[in-house]
Every structure is written in C-alpha cells, then in structure tokens.
C-alpha cells in the first residue's frame, strides 16, 4: 500500500486535466455534438434508469457470449490439433493467416448479406474474426509444452485422453486465459459494429439509431454504458476465475 | 517365478554422428540381468549412455539390435509395470500431491477402489503423510522428489528405474534421501535399476553394481555388494570397496582413451 500511493497522484492529475479540457472544449459545441462530462454522466444515468436498456444489453450479451464460446472452442481445438500434428499445422497455417489478414469490417457486411437480420450474422462475424487469434495463441502454447512431462506420462502408460486432460491442456491454460480475455474484448466491439447494420435490437442498433438522429451525446453515453458493463465482467468474472485456476502457482510458503 | 526381472541381451543403440554422416554406437552389444527384488546400479561417466539405456527400458526410446525383456511378476498383468524417477521430479504442478500419484495409478489402469489406500501407503513411506492436498510448487526440491518416488512406487512396478534422482539436490538433502531410500526399501521390495555417476552412491545403495565404459557403453564389470542392510554411509567397508572400484574404473577409462 505504501508503494502505491505516489502512483495514484499522476494518474489522478491526468484524469482531472482531461475532464477540465473536455469541459472547456465542450463549451464551444452543441451538447448533442460534444456533451460536457457532467451531461454525459447524466445521459449514462438515464440509460441505466430505463428498464428497456437491460433487455437491449441482454440481447447483445447473448450474441457476445455465443460468439465468444464458439470462437474459444473452435480456436482452441484447431490450435491444439495444429500443435499436436505437424501436418495439420502446415496444412492450416496459411489459412489462418488469410483469416487474420482479411479486413474484419468486410465480415460484418458479408454476414449480413448471407444471414440477413438475425442473431446469426453478429455471431458469425465474431467467430470468423476472433477464432483465428485463439488458434494462433493456442498453437503458440503447444510449442512451449514440456516434452519431459509427455515422456513421463508415456512411461507411466497414460492413454491419449489422460495425457490431453491432465498433462497437455493444463499447460495451455495460460494461453487459453489470455485468449479468453482478448477474445472477450474483441467480441463485444465486433458485436456492436455488426448489430449497427444487421440487427433489429441490441446496443449496436441503439448506436445506429442515435447516429441517424445526429446525437453524438447519446452515442457516447451508450458506448460508455456498455463499456462499464464489459469492464465489470472482465474484472469480476474473468480475472477471478483466472486467479482461482492458477492458485497452484502462488509463491511457495517458506 | 522367474528370478530375473529384466534380461537384456546384445542390446545396441545407434546415434547419428554429430555434424556428419553415418552413425556410431552409444550402446553396443550390452548384456544385463537384474535379479528380482534387488537393487542394481549402473555406474558410468557422464554421457556414456546410461540415461539412454533407461529410456530404452522405459519404452521412450527405441533400440537398433538385441533383445530386452521385462518379466512381470507372476499373476501380474501381462504387460510389465514400469516406474520411473527422473533427475527432476517431473510432477504435474497443477495437480495436488495426491492427484499426481493418482495420475500414475489411472495411467496404469489400477482399480479406482485401491487409489486412496495406495496414495496413503506410499506417501507415508516417503515421509510425506499429510501433504496430500498440497501443490508441488509449495514443497521443497527434496520433497518434490519424494513425491516422484512415491508416484513410482505406488504403481507397484515390476521394475523401478531411477535416473540420478538425487543429482539435482544439495548434498545434505541428497544424503538424507539416500538413507531414507534405504529405509523405504525395507518396506517395499521393488526391483530397482539405479543410474548414477557416483560410485559411492552406487556402492551404498546397491546389491549389484554394474560398471559401464564409454563409447560404446558396455558393462565391463559386475560387483556384488555383500554388506547387509541397513548400511551406514560411513561404513569403512563401503569406502574400501569404492576405492578399489575407482581404481579399476580409471584403468579402464585410460585404456579406452589410448
């Protein structure tokens, strides 16, 4: 605690400075073009005050979760297969690179053309953009696996399933968790873009609605509101889970 | 019941020449018989192919010629059970001590009903009773190696392979571990093939000492250590035997270098 105190001061100063600058600039514009910090806060409060907000956010969350889970499963399975079989690795390597390089925004539009206004379009978009990252990350993880442990398991005659479950996958956990957190951050941003153009309801749709009404204040307010929710999920759910999974790593008690 | 646990005849292992074409024999026409229930050591200088030999017996390396038989105890499953204690513990750090042992039991298809009893028996034997729920990284290096020993004993192996298991420990811990291992062997009587570069360690622990030459690896002498157990590390008979064997070793090494 003693060490942390001096760190807070510069951070606090920069925050206050930013708010003051923002307030000053906002004086020169219409509130609907650039709201002041206080007005934005008010708008955010209004958004959280409406019960319909929660239905909208729940709809978006549903798509984010579906996309995220599918991306993790597909990405991890392919990454693992590529790592365990060299031939699979060289076979799929260039395809994954193509997917990683392909402009993400194109998928958002293409999937709307393919699937129309439905839940499938945003989920499909998320999966196509996110799973290649997971694959690359997990593939990287398989390269760092300890051959000595695999030998140990072989000597004790562990079958493939046991080897995978107790020896290989646990070694991939750090990579899976970093993939999960990056994927989560990516997924919800992609979901908003996709929803803006191809959904009948969702946070992205709200952004589009206020965009058409030329209301930057409401767009910012919706963006901030959803961001708050996502940051909370990351901090409360994902980080805690990670800490619990890696409890075995905690420094040895002397 | 066969009196031999392991029979190796004319075993040859080739390695590719470093940086060149062709192959050389790391192990050439090696013969070795290990009596059931005894403690046998192979002593040889570093890089003579001792670990390679253990890995061949363990089935993680192949050999190029000769035969290798591990004879399961009567009534045991038709495939021989092999326990292995490596230089480093090679524990699964994300599993508790107990689950590390159960991993080996599961791998060996040992009936689940026996697991808890085996865990308790062999953890107690290595002096780690009460550490079941602890994680390996919270234990000292010596304790981790004890877990590895109890993991190998818990499957009640037909042959227990030990590859310089104390070489990564500080000398004081290693010394205590050797004495403790001797006590453990009074309770369990597995057949052990122990590999070391230390004649002192081999003489102290073993009933049979096999001395191995370098390039190619061959057993050039077998010595029976007839000093009854429990032995004391400072027993002068052990020192005398060690001295004689060291002399012989140097003679052979010098010969091979000419």
Q: What is the CATH number of the domain that holds A201?
A: 1.10.3720.10
Q: Which among A162, A173, A250 has CB closest to B106?
A: A162
pLDDT score at A2:
47
Domain-located, residue B53: yes
Structurally, how many domains does chain B consist of? 2
- Among residues A142, A166, A180, the alpha carbon closest in space to that of B94 is found at A166
Is there a contact between A249 and B82 if contact means CB atoms under 8 Å apart? Answer: no
Chain B residues 146-185 with a CB less than 8 Å from chain A? 155
CA–CA distance from B49 to each of A126, B109, B163, B214 (Å)? 54, 31, 11, 8
Question: Taking 70 as the threshold, does the pLDDT of residue B74 lie above it?
Answer: no
Interatomic CA distance for residues A83 and A91, integer angstroms: 12
Joined together, the tokens standing for residue A130 give: 């996110």
| Chain A: closest CA distance from residue B108 (Å) | 6
Phi and psi torsions of B34, nearest 5° = -115, 125
Is the distance from CB of A99 to CB of A124 less than 8 angstroms? no
What residues of chain A have any CB closer than 8 angstroms to a CB in chain B? Answer: 148-149, 151-159, 162, 166-167, 170, 173, 247-250, 252-253
Is there a contact between A252 and B138 if contact means CB atoms under 8 Å apart? Answer: yes
Residues of A in contact with B103 (CB under 8 A): 153, 156, 158, 162, 166
pLDDT > 70 in chain B, percent: 96
Domain of residue B138 covers 82-156
Is there a contact between B84 and A159 if contact means CB atoms under 8 Å apart? Answer: no
Structurally, how many domains does chain A consist of? 1
Q: Are residues B5 and B75 part of one domain? A: yes
Mapped to the 3 state alphabet, what secondary structure does chain B carry?
CCCEEEEEEEEEEEEECCCCCCEEEEEEEEEEEEECCCEEEEECCCCCCHHHHHHHHHCCCCCCEEEEEECCCCCCCCCCCEEEECCCCCCCCCCCHHHHHHHHHHHCCCCHHHHHHHHHHHHHHCCCCCCCCCCHHHCCHHHHHHHHHHHHHHCCCCEEEEECCCCCCCHHHHHHHHHHHHHHHHHCCCCEEEEECCHHHHHHHCCEEEEECCCCECEEEEEECCCCCCCCCCCHHHHHHHHHHHHHHHHHHHHHHC
The CA-based angle B233-B234-B235, given to 5 degrees, is 95
Q: B135 — contact with chain A (CB < 8 Å)?
A: yes
* Number of CB pairs, chain A paired with chain B, less than 8 A apart: 62
pLDDT score at B234:
84
pLDDT tens-digit readout, A200-226? 899 999 999 999 999 999 999 999 999
Residue in chain A lying closest to B55 (CA): A155
Domain of residue A156 covers 30-246
Domain-located, residue A6: no
Q: Are residues B66 and B76 part of one domain? A: yes
| Chain A: closest CA distance from residue B137 (Å) | 6
Is there a contact between A155 and B138 if contact means CB atoms under 8 Å apart? Answer: no
Please report which confidence band the pLDDT of residue A198 belongs to, taking 50, 70 and 90 as the band edges.
confident
Is the distance from CB of A205 to CB of A199 less than 8 angstroms? yes
Which of A40-49, B24-33, B89-98, B248-257 bottoms out in mean pLDDT, i.e. has the lowest? B248-257
Interatomic CA distance for residues A203 and B224, integer angstroms: 81
Domain-located, residue B168: no
Q: Are residues B111 and B57 part of one domain? A: no
Domain-located, residue A25: no
Candidates A151, A155, A165, A166: best to mutate against B (most CBs of B within 10 A) is A155
Phi and psi torsions of B26, nearest 5° = -75, -40
Mean pLDDT of B125-153: 94
Q: Are residues B75 and B89 part of one domain? A: no
Candidates B54, B80, B82, B90: best to mutate against A (most CBs of A within 10 A) is B90
Interatomic CA distance for residues A115 and A98, integer angstroms: 22
pLDDT > 90 in chain A, percent: 87
């Amino acid at each position: 605690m003693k060490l942390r105190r001096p760190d807070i001061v510069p951070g606090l100063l920069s925050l206050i400075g930013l708010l003051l600058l923002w307030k000053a600039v906002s004086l020169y514009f219409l509130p609907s073009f650039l709201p002041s910090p206080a007005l934005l806060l008010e708008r955010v409060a209004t958004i959280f005050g409406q019960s319909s907000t929660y239905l909208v956010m729940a709809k978006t969350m549903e798509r984010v979760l579906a996309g995220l889970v599918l991306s993790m499963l597909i990405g991890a399975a392919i990454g693992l297969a590529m790592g365990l079989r060299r031939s699979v690795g060289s076979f799929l390597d260039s395809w994954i690179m193509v997917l990683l390089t392909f402009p993400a925004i194109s998928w958002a539009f293409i999937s709307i053309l393919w699937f129309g206004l439905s839940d499938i379009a945003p989920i499909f978009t998320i999966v196509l953009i996110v799973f290649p990252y997971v694959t690359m990350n997990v593939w990287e993880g398989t390269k760092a696996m300890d051959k000595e442990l695999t030998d140990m398991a072989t000597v004790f005659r562990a079958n493939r399933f046991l080897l995978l479950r107790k020896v290989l996958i646990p070694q991939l956990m750090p990579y899976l968790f970093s993939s999960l957190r990056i994927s989560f951050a990516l997924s919800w941003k992609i979901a908003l873009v996709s929803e803006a153009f191809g959904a009948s309801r969702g946070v992205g749709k709200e952004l589009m609605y206020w965009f058409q009404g030329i209301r930057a204040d409401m767009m910012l307010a919706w963006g901030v509101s959803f961001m708050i929710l996502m940051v909370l999920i990351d901090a409360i759910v994902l980080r805690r889970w990670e800490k619990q999974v890696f409890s075995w790593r905690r420094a040895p008690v002397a | 019941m066969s009196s031999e646990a392991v029979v190796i005849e004319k075993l040859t292992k080739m390695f590719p020449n470093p940086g060149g074409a062709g192959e050389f024999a790391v192990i050439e026409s090696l013969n070795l018989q290990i009596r059931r229930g005894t403690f046998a050591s192979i002593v040889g200088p570093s890089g003579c192919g001792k670990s390679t030999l253990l890995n061949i017996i363990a089935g993680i390396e192949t050999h190029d010629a000769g035969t290798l038989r591990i004879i399961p105890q009567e009534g045991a499953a038709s495939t021989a059970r092999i326990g292995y204690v490596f230089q480093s513990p090679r524990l699964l750090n994300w599993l508790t001590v107990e689950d590390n042992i159960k991993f080996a039991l599961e791998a060996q298809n040992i009936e689940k009903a026996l697991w808890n009893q085996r865990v308790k028996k062999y953890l107690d034997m290595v002096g780690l009773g009460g550490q079941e729920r602890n994680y390996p990284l919270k234990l000292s290096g010596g304790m981790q190696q004890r877990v590895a020993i109890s993991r190998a004993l818990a499957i009640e192996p037909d042959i227990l392979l030990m590859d310089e298991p104390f070489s990564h420990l500080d000398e004081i811990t290693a010394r205590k571990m050797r004495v403790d291992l001797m006590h453990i062997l009074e309770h369990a009587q597995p057949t052990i093939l122990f590999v070391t570069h230390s004649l002192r360690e081999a003489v102290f622990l073993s009933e049979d000492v096999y001395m191995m030459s370098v390039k190619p690896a061959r057993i050039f002498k077998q010595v029976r250590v007839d000093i009854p157990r429990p032995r004391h590390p400072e027993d002068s008979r052990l020192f005398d035997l060690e001295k004689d064997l060291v002399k012989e070793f140097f003679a052979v090494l010098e010969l091979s270098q000419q």
